[in-house]
A and B are shown apart, each in its own frame.
Chain A
Amino acid sequence: MIECPSCGRKHRPGTLFCSECGVYLLTGGPLRTEPLPEEELPISRANPWANESIGEDAEDAAIPLRIEVLSTKRQIQIPNTPEVHIGRTDAVHGIFPDLDLSPDGGLEGGVSRHHCKIHQRGTTYLVEDVGSANGTFLNGQRLTPYLPHMLKNGDELQLGRITLRIIIEEPTES
């Protein structure tokens, strides 16, 4: 029997797609994001409707956002663009995320090539999982893919095994 690397369902030899989760079973090679064992990942889910109201008004206020990779202490100043994609560079398939976690052990850490994105709405930053293999966790709670969640200063964002700290420096009012 062969085991689905994603959901663990057992299949007869020769099976091409997992009937439970739809994953292609023969994909191999070093570029593939390996699913992490379920017990390694937190199970509780974040509630998207718990978001506080989002400030839509201030179009000018570009609050700087920095991200720190906890394991490597690397700090990245996020460019002031509407959307920042986080993932792993795969030159072969033309995937170049704005924030590439390859240098931080992204592949071994279970980071997908397209993992999540952070977008700015007004003065608020929102994070959205884009269907990653191992999920995005906000302060230990798994995000439902494609539902944006609000980010606050000091939040911890976990992509597979890699943990990022969100640093949002509120401008001091003059």
Chain B
Amino acid sequence: MDSIHEDYYAILGVPPTATTEEIKHAYRALARRYHPDTRTEQAPTALFHQVQMAYAVLSDPARRQAYDKRRAEAGLTPHAPFTWRIYLSRYHLSTQYAEQTLYLMMEIRPTGVETHRRLPLNLCLVIDQSTSMQGSRIEHVKRAARWILTELEDDDFLSIVTFNDRANVLLPSAPVGSQRNRVQAKISSVLTAGGTEILQGLQTGLKELKKHHSDRVVSHLILLTDGQTYGDEEDCLAEARAAGAQRIGISAMGIGEDWNDTLLDEMASQSGGTSAYITSPQHIRTMLRKRIIGLSALYATDLYLAFRSTEKVQVEHVFSTTPYLKHLHFEGDGVKLGVVEENQPVIAVAEIGVGQHSAGEHRLLQLELRGSVPKVNVDGVLLRDEVVCHFTEEKPPEEPVPAAMLSVLSKVTIFRMQEQVWEKLDRGNVRDATRQLEYIATRLFDLGETELARSAMLEAGRVAQSGTSTSKGRKELKYGTRSLTIASRRESHD
């Protein structure tokens, strides 16, 4: 049977519109390169087999048509904005267990972008100017804000709001091209005073964004704060939810150690933004830059992954790895994956509880990916697939677990352990929390994450002695472990 998950066109390097002649030509060229007898490159034989398989299907008009049709039905047409690969920890399960665990991993890739033109950005910087920001913090924020200007195009919109107990529109929303010079002077005039009321800044910032908000721009609010807000958390979340529903994202960057990570994380996830932990003032610029580059490369929004299963199958936990590890919560029949950047695959893993099944093939799950891809004007169902497993009475054959899945799961496990530590501490279970922190340290050392492992070790010591976690340790571990899946983060270590 021809696999619809293999993109035979891509394997042969021809467009989906290629003629039989073009396909033959491409095949011959590849065959010369990959054929075991004549190959000029050290290519594995598996690659040659793939090429042969692709040619066998595409050179036969009937098979090619059937292949095209089945790919189209699965949402994998050549013009589909996304493709995915689905892995299971095993495909053969035993009939003898009342309950067993199955892992599912989905690698969701944006397909090649046809237009390199990006949608204009509609940005609002909301800057905390409370007294605690005094000194290097506010200076670095100002420097970063000035620098943002150089990163933006003339037709992007920018507004800046500052807040303490009240909010003030420093720069009303307008195209960047019209106000480059004014922005410099305005930013320099910011002084620190007063307390921190995030809601004030948030509401004022959103008002500015809405002036130029439409389907043809990417609207985003970037909140920079070092403090806690008092009493208005619920209202902040409500604002974030409402903004998210209108496709206005909020990214929150917490500076230092005292800010309310739960609130900022929640606001970001409600609105489809991101949150970041800024450990030093110099770090502000790097984080802002990352965020703006990410927004410029925005490919899809409102990505939603739905699971439909029978009663015997329970999707228990879902994690996504992009832009960092997130434990996703069910909303309706699925989870929100949020926004996706160009050329950045999204990996989601699910832990599934599977009840007892009789021998034979069973369809355990139906998967559906929905979302909106503004650049190609697609909104709705993007991909569909199903998970089928084979149940046997005798011992199922040994199946190697895909290495990519193990790598992601080992990190998800550490992230999850860290979540459990804080849950244990909240219940007053100091002994178990300490022990689990030490386990985390051990796993991190195994991964070569020495710095983070030391943080875990130190936090274990502090928890054992005082019975509570420290704000610093908690943030270091939370933001550190959730970044474990980001490859570029890895520095070389010996």
Contacts and interface: CB of A to CB of B under 8 A. Distances in A.
Interface of A: 7, 11-22, 24, 26, 130-131, 144-147
Given A16-B89, A24-B410, A131 B442 contact: yes
A12 B353 contact: yes
Given A17-B410, A144-B457, A146-B453, A22 B102 contact: no
B101 A15 contact: yes
Contacts of A147: 457
Of the four ranges (under 10, 10 to 19, 20 to 34, 35 or more), the interface on chain B belongs to 35 or more
B401 A16 contact: yes
A12 B101 contact: yes
Contacts of A26: 401
A13 B454 CA distance: 33
B416 interface: yes
A14 B102 contact: yes
A146 B454 contact: yes
A130 B101 contact: no
Contacts of A20: 417, 420, 436, 439
A12 B100 contact: yes
B410 to A, nearest CB: 6
A52 to B, nearest CB: 20
A140 to B, nearest CB: 19
Contacts of A144: 438, 457, 460-461
Contacts of B410: 17, 22, 24
Given A14-B90, A20-B436, A22-B417, A131 B101 contact: no
A12 to B, nearest CB: 5
A21 B413 CA distance: 9
A13 B354 CA distance: 10
Given A146-B453, A146-B457, A17 B409 contact: yes
B89 A14 contact: yes
B441 A145 contact: yes
Contacts of B454: 146
Interface string B438-472: 11111101100000011001001100000000000
26 contacts: A11-B101, A12-B100, A12-B101, A12-B353, A13-B101, A14-B90, A14-B93, A15-B101, A16-B101, A16-B401, A16-B409, A20-B436, A20-B439, A21-B417, A21-B439, A21-B443, A22-B410, A22-B413, A22-B440, A26-B401, A130-B445, A131-B442, A145-B438, A145-B441, A145-B442, A146-B457
B99 A12 contact: yes
Contacts of B416: 19
Nearest to B441: A145
Contact of A19 (B89, B99, B420, B442): B420
Nearest to B413: A17
A16 B103 CA distance: 9
Given A7-B439, A130-B445, A145-B441, A19 B101 contact: no
A130 B453 CA distance: 11
Contacts of B176: none
Given A20-B417, A22-B413, 16 more contacts: A12-B99, A12-B101, A12-B353, A13-B94, A13-B100, A14-B97, A14-B101, A16-B103, A17-B413, A19-B416, A19-B417, A20-B436, A131-B441, A145-B438, A145-B445, A146-B454
B452 to A, nearest CB: 12
B264 interface: no
Interface string B82-100: 0000000110011001011
A12 B97 contact: yes
Contacts of B461: 144
